[in-house]
Structure 1
């Protein structure tokens, strides 16, 4: 019995000594070799993803050779994709670019992470906390804004006489004086707002009207007036392509994509800023295996300088107040980017501020109705 107790005691002492040795001899965290990390980042594709590549992804990978960023252009169906992956227990996306209304739904469903903004995000250069530096109303419980952008209507100038160019939302709905096919996205958001705006509803009153059955009927009735001339697009890249091919005379689209097609590719497009629908766009973090690596990336990619850097490549405004003074010239074209921003005073004369709470509350119902309307 004595020998047994001695053996046990020796074994315990040995385990303790091994633990102590490991504690003092282990490499410091900064000395530990970091293995390769692959981050799948989901975004919208086209000129927008390219702006993220140049402003964020490529510089970050150069600074962190162990990190590989893989792009996935799945943001148009991000909410459905996250739901499916979560239900299957196989979340393959590490970071997702998503609209705030969809982000709120995903947050409510518990499939993306809540964010402590001041803990996760960098302060402004003057020390202002992130929660005070990001533009008012932009932060969400699970949402980190990246840009201010607008959905606008654009037209191909070659398809109209020089002395009769369209200039308003009313012109978009006026098929008699401004003939030609129109392209709109295959979802109700912004289309229903524009329908009411063109029907005489003031921008400040649109959501009060749209929240009623009568207002919804009114919006769909206005869309019926141009239904025979409509073409529907799904992905953002389709909008400028339809205009360039002259398959349509007008198309709704994201202001940054139209800017890229017009200023970079030289397409004969012009933006109608009247009634632009202004919205945030940004990041959400799914629950997954690479959360620590994602948070390190987000801290860097959403700081003041990085958000200003994206405006060198696309005409979307940065979501931080401290970034705005740093917006300068386009990196390749050398043109002043400030005049192309949605929030430039010359462009911001009749904005419709997209109400994400409204789309969280009414989105499923109106998406179903809109899908049925498209098939009628």
Structure 2
């Protein structure tokens, strides 16, 4: 009897200990892009991970500044565990040793990923596009803008229009408006004459621009009627049009560029292993698809795309019907030239 009671007691202690460990699991701090993007990740991915593992996810928002990660690492005061970064920032952060290299044990076979969605230090959090969006109450049917040249045509389309307040994305749009083909974009932009040409186009439209620096601000400008057309990230427009029933549409055939953001684990993070465990779970196709089922950005894993309903997949920039009008942002170009072009853009904006 004594042996039996000891066994029962030991089992009870073990159960209590494991229960306490699960309930007191250290949270993983995940830093994303905020707003409805974060909400889609919470509802479609992170809540499911917590339910499965007992590990809480603490969500924070940022603007993708790799300098913040660098400052935390240099100060020895790291508060981020996992961050979503744009491709140029991924290149810089990985090269500087700020992010943990990922092995196939974490990500799965690289052959199962779409081109450009897997990096030495990251796995795609989303594939997005910057597009031409407009108010369908103002521009109906054939009267709607159909090109970036239309966007720049303030006589045919009078009033204010929104543009993202940075060189990247904006310079490409300016050159498309001036007739540069997407496949020639970085040949042109890599020359001093090409950069001057882009800024000359911005000179033409500057008095008619309302600049935005966050997606929420860009949408608010459309909502208020301050602008009736704007560049925008595609999923935010789709969300507003379908889920919020707002009169917005995307001119996909105007042409667009698309890019990939990546999840990365900060090297030396307080919960570095927890972050790696999270990305290993996220890299399973059905878990990756949880985000894209709720938000109109593409996935990394090919199999994940197959799990998205066909009617919703048609809203993604990576859908065949849209991709014919798109081209990829040149990450190598922006890694090399971003600092100089953003400085020139800031100086131009201040004039």
Shared fold, TM over 0.5? yes
CA deviations 1:37-73 (Å, max 9, x no partner) are 12111111111111101111111111222x2211111
Q: SS where residue 47 of structure 1 aligns?
A: helix
- C-alpha distance in 2 between matches for 1:140 and 1:313: 24
Question: Relative to total residues, which structure has the larger helix share, 1 or 2?
Answer: 2
Counterpart check, 1:113 vs 2:100: yes
CA contact (8 A) 2:147 2:177 kept: no
- Can you give the 5+ residue segments of structure 1 that lack an aligned partner in the other structure? 1-26, 124-128, 330-335
Moved over 6 A (4+): none
Counterpart check, 1:54 vs 2:29: no
1:157 to 116, 126, 136: 136
Aligned twin of 2:11: none
1:361 to 328, 336, 341: 336
CA contact (8 A) 2:134 2:248 kept: yes
Q: SS where residue 252 of structure 1 aligns?
A: strand
- C-alpha distance in 1 between matches for 2:320 and 2:64: 33
- C-alpha distance in 2 between matches for 1:64 and 1:138: 26
- The within-5 A match list for 1:230-269 is 230-269=209-248
Aligned length: 332
Q: SS where residue 275 of structure 2 aligns?
A: helix
Q: SS where residue 120 of structure 1 aligns?
A: helix
Counterpart check, 1:166 vs 2:145: yes
- C-alpha distance in 2 between matches for 1:192 and 1:247: 23
Counterpart check, 1:296 vs 2:277: yes
Counterpart check, 1:38 vs 2:27: yes
Aligned twin of 1:13: none
CA contact (8 A) 2:135 2:228 kept: yes
Q: SS where residue 97 of structure 2 aligns?
A: coil
Q: SS where residue 255 of structure 2 aligns?
A: strand
CA contact (8 A) 2:82 2:266 kept: yes
Aligned twin of 1:332: none
Q: SS where residue 37 of structure 1 aligns?
A: coil
1:70 to 58, 69, 73: 58
CA contact (8 A) 2:86 2:262 kept: yes
CA deviations 1:304-351 (Å, max 9, x no partner) are 11122222211112111111211117xxxxxx2021111223222321
Residues 135 and 161 (structure 1), Cα distance of their counterparts in 2 relative to 1, 3 Å cut: closer
Query: Shift of the alpha carbon at 1:256?
Result: 0.7
Query: Shift of the alpha carbon at 1:31?
Result: 6.2
Query: Shift of the alpha carbon at 1:162?
Result: 4.9
- The within-5 A match list for 1:120-269 is 120-121=106-107, 123=108, 129=109, 131-160=110-139, 162-269=141-248
- C-alpha distance in 2 between matches for 1:187 and 1:211: 17
Aligned twin of 2:83: 96
CA contact (8 A) 2:129 2:257 kept: yes
CA contact (8 A) 1:133 1:320 kept: yes
- C-alpha distance in 1 between matches for 2:97 and 2:28: 21
- C-alpha distance in 2 between matches for 1:69 and 1:90: 20
- TM score, norm. by length of structure 1: 0.84
- C-alpha distance in 2 between matches for 1:344 and 1:92: 37
CA contact (8 A) 2:174 2:198 kept: yes
1:81 to 65, 68, 85: 68
- C-alpha distance in 2 between matches for 1:308 and 1:364: 34
- C-alpha distance in 1 between matches for 2:348 and 2:120: 33
CA contact (8 A) 2:87 2:262 kept: yes
Aligned twin of 2:320: 345
- TM score, norm. by length of structure 2: 0.90
